[in-house]
Amino acid sequence: MTRNIRHRAIVAAAFLAAASALAGCGAGSDAITNKPYAPTEALTVKANGIDISQAFFLGPDSGATLPEGAATPLYLSLINTNAGSDQLVGLGVDPALGTAKVSAPVPLPHNQRVSVGKPTPTILIEGLKKPLRGGEGVKVQLQFANAGIVQLTIPVITRSREFTAYPQAPGASAAPTPSATPSATATGEEHSSGH
């Protein structure tokens, strides 16, 4: 008799352990709030004491193109974890892609998040020498006064979904709009049917 009771207790304990483990799996990646997880396409890295997150070049609207001659702004968030302050002083890009422009050095105080590109883009690749559609990766060198050079490949993200709030990239062409289908016009036969 005690053997049956012990066996049932073990089976019940195993069932409860499995049920709680399966319940945790069903809660998704964010079990506390049970919200769906939506990963970002932007780049996140740590290098030379600088935390770089949400790095992307803004591309065209979905289905459109940044043509030759246009520009693409760089957006990113930086935290300088080094002992002293620093500055982002330059951006290096392949001259075959275009010309990098940094309107002013970006100050990076110790342990403070600095958003680059908001509210106004300050770092651009201008005079694109080839069209960009979104989905490409751009090899760059971020140049810091103290932390040195950080080499990255930053994605070009289309201006869609959560990125529609960003201003359109300079020189971007509009997304193609579907052409209107001509409607049927009334013929003489339709008008004469009342006679």
**pLDDT per residue over 85-125, tens digit each?**
999 999 999 999 999 999 999 999 999 999 999 888 899 99
pLDDT score for 131: 93
pLDDT score for 118: 84
- The domain spans of the chain are 1-38, 43-163
Specify the pairing of strand 50-61 against strand 43-47.
Answer: antiparallel
Determine which helix (DSSP H) or strand (DSSP E) holds 78, and give its type and residue range: strand 72-80
pLDDT score for 161: 85
Decide if pLDDT at 32 tops 70.
no
Residue type, 5: I
Is 105 in contact with 86 (CB distance < 8 Å)? no
* More confident position, 129 or 27: 129
Enter the tokens of residue 168.
């359109």
Determine which helix (DSSP H) or strand (DSSP E) holds 21, and give its type and residue range: helix 2-26
Q: Which one-letter DSSP state was computed for residue 117?
A: S
* Cα separations in angstroms, 21 against 9, 14, 31: 18, 11, 12
Strand partners for 99: 126
| Percent of the chain predicted with pLDDT > 90 | 53
Determine which helix (DSSP H) or strand (DSSP E) holds 17, and give its type and residue range: helix 2-26
Q: What are phi and psi of 170, to 5 degrees?
A: -60, 125
Contacts of 51 (CB under 8 A, 6+ apart): 78, 79, 81
What's the rounded mean pLDDT across residues 130-137?
Answer: 92
Phi-psi region of 111 (alpha: psi -120 to 50; beta: other; left: phi over 0): left
Task: Say what the pTM is.
Answer: 0.68
Nearest to 138 by CA among 166, 102, 70, 130: 130
pLDDT score for 163: 85
Is 35 in contact with 135 (CB distance < 8 Å)? no
Domain 43-163, what fold?
A: Immunoglobulin-like (2.60.40)
What's the rounded mean pLDDT across residues 59-78?
Answer: 93
